[in-house]
Chain A
Amino acid sequence: MNILVLIKPTPDITKVRFDVEKGVVDRGSASLEINPFDLYAIEVAKRIKRVFGGFITSLSMAPPHAEPALRDAIARGVDRAILLSDRRFAGADTWATSYTLASAIRKLGSFNIILCGEKSVDGDTAHVGPEVAEFLGIPHVSFVTRIIDVSVDKVIVESDFGEAYYEVELKLPALIALSRPVIFRDEFIEPSMPKVSDVLRAKKAKIDVWSADQLADVADVSKFGLNGSPTRVVRAYYALEKGRETRVVKGEEGVNMILSVLRETGVIS
């Protein structure tokens, strides 16, 4: 099986600080790591490889300082990591990002299955997976909570459509966007820390960095980055906490206060 994993290097959302005035992320406040949802994609890729054999390629688009995140991906089981990195990719919205990723996938050749996380912790869109699938002309399923079965030409998954979970069969090649937690066949998947020996091996591994020019034969370079993006952020600001005036109480008084809140909100009479 030729397996591709889409990995987005994202800032650690528990550590990142925000520039409250400008409404942007203080880029120096947190280094880039693998988007937590994408860790599940790597785990599923490894399990598919265990069953069928094969090769796991990861593809990312990020600034050069994302390299440690890709070494982490290699330590976790990715065989080859590709980083699309060029100023001309910067400022891309989901459309331009997906177009660029799909172009790189075409350049790499054909894959049986493409895996990614359902969304990223910074963009929050959940759109890139489906858009990549559309550009490649392959089917996809998002919000996948279980891989029921994989065979050489199809995959059966369980997906959250919103109202219910549906069992869906896809012909391969296909793209699967994974939720968390996720079940592979009957196994509950939880990403674990890589072994020290794997971390050391990954330190020496080669990361392929591709510039925009390297995609010129398969894509229209004017569709990359901010230039190629059909949307523009016109304003951004920090989402301030709703002006709640927190009342802090202790022990017995707390119980009485909760009871009166229950009464005031009409929850109890």
Chain B
Amino acid sequence: MNWRGVLVYAENYSGRIHRASFELLGKARELLPRISGELFAVTVTSENKAEEYSRELIAYGADKVVEYVVEENHLTNPLIHRNALIDAIKYIKPKLVLVPATPWGRSIAPRVAASIGTGITADCLDVYVDDEGNIVQVRPAFTGNIIAHIKTLTNPVITTVRPGVFQVPSPDYGRKGEALIRSIEASGADKLRVLRVARVKTVKLSEADVIVSIGKGVRSREDIKLFEELAREIGAQLACSKPLVDMGWMERDRQVGFSGNIVKPRLYIALGISGAPQHIAGMRDSKYVVSVNIDPSAPIAKYSDLFVVGDIYDVAKKILQALRNLK
């Protein structure tokens, strides 16, 4: 059997295509000359959105868009998406399948790999083709401490890729492409029912440009206001390390770290965070890191561009005062 081309799973259960899907189309275009074949995008959609999605996916680089038109109540059912992706792989026989490593993608893709009987590599930071023409996947392990290069011996190669590692290509709405409609059975999907959206996230740290992050150096829940004010004044998102979430002082969506959000803002300001490995795993790719800590031996120092030894309350108040004087 001849496995050719690249298949990108376009995540759109929320009603819009996740930008990570476009990033993957961009990367796939770049890899395609070494893999040969065509670039396919696969999506599950309601009838009224099918045309809009295919136009968009072609503009971002897809040659062919395979669309599974389903009933409205099936759009958020992960088992339907699983069925669609399995059908698409059997139909297209791609060499490489790229899926965004969002919580959604990391839930569906492994089921597909298990069902097809092929290898899957999680949360990759890069994918390349080596000198022998093998697809190699690069991923962190051990809470970000080890980087591994992984080859897949079976077909297709299934890879989930961390959102934000590749650029979104600029769309070309003049590009020509083809849309194919396929149908799937809803078999097995009734074992799971998505009842409703419980809570929409108020903050998405992974997309934040500037972050003020607080840790155990904050002495009481009341005191968070001071740092909230600092974040607001400089147009930053307020974030925190794990202990503040464990104490119930901050919501989980604001937690930076291995078990929270992996961020890479332009500027990361860590206040009273010592720098446990699990926190470092969440912020080490920030462009510029400032940290303030009373303890000169805090491990976060070596991950910082600027390390200020001092009292976080004092520093925060003085910065706020200086900003007021500027106005």
Contacts and interface: CB of A to CB of B under 8 A. Distances in A.
Interface of A: 13-14, 16, 18, 23-25, 37, 93-95, 98-99, 121-131, 133-135, 137-143, 145, 156, 158-171, 174, 179-181, 188, 190, 229-239, 241-242, 244-252, 254-255, 257-259, 261-262, 265, 267-268
Interface string B304-323: 11111110000100110011
B192 A249 contact: no
Given A18-B142, A127-B106, A167-B198, A234 B310 contact: no
B147 A239 contact: yes
Contacts of B23: none
Q: Interface centre among A125, A162, A164, A234, by most B CB within 10 Å?
A: A162
Contact of B192 (A93, A170, A233): A170
A262 B288 CA distance: 10
B192 A244 contact: no
Contact of A265 (B144, B258, B288): B288
B14 interface: yes
A125 B120 CA distance: 10
A59 to B, nearest CB: 17
Interface stretch (B37-45, B175-183, B244-252): B244-252
B96 interface: no
Interface string B51-84: 0000000000000000000000000101100000
B318 A255 contact: yes
B302 A267 contact: no
B122 A124 contact: yes
B319 A258 contact: yes
B234 A169 contact: no
Contacts of A249: 306-309
A251 B310 contact: yes
Contact of B304 (A135, A230, A244): A244
Interface stretch (B27-35, B87-95, B219-227, B289-297): B289-297
Question: What is the predominant secondary structure among interface residues of chain B facing chain A?
Answer: mixed
A143 B108 CA distance: 12
A225 to B, nearest CB: 14
In which size bucket is the chain B interface?
35 or more
A244 B234 contact: no
B120 A127 contact: yes
28 contacts: A25-B146, A94-B120, A95-B113, A126-B123, A127-B106, A128-B110, A131-B110, A131-B120, A139-B192, A141-B192, A142-B106, A163-B104, A166-B195, A167-B194, A167-B196, A171-B190, A190-B246, A230-B119, A230-B152, A234-B151, A238-B146, A239-B145, A241-B302, A244-B304, A246-B302, A249-B308, A257-B308, A258-B315
Nearest to A138: B191
Given A248-B308, A254-B292, 13 more contacts: A14-B277, A14-B278, A18-B145, A95-B118, A130-B111, A170-B191, A180-B259, A231-B120, A231-B151, A234-B149, A239-B146, A249-B306, A268-B326
A98 B114 contact: yes
A258 B146 contact: no
Q: Which 9 A-B pairs have the closest CB atoms?
A: A230-B119, A254-B308, A125-B122, A134-B114, A127-B110, A231-B119, A162-B102, A235-B149, A130-B110
Contacts of A129: 110
A238 B118 CA distance: 27
A267 B210 contact: yes
A125 B123 contact: yes
A202 to B, nearest CB: 25
A203 B277 CA distance: 31
B104 A169 contact: no
Contacts of A137: 188
A244 B147 contact: no
A258 B308 contact: yes
Given A24-B146, A127-B110, A246-B302, A142 B103 contact: yes
B306 A242 contact: no
B191 A257 contact: no
B122 A127 contact: yes
A244 B305 contact: yes
A124 B323 contact: no
B193 A168 contact: yes
B158 to A, nearest CB: 9
Given A124-B140, A230-B118, A161 B103 contact: yes
Contacts of B195: 156, 166-169
Contact of B305 (A134, A170, A246, A254): A246
Contacts of B259: 37, 179-180
Nearest to B193: A169
A234 B150 contact: yes
A164 B191 contact: no
B196 A166 contact: yes
A131 B304 CA distance: 38
A170 B123 CA distance: 26
A248 B296 contact: yes
Given A130-B114, A169-B195, A229 B119 contact: yes
Contact of A248 (B234, B303, B307): B307
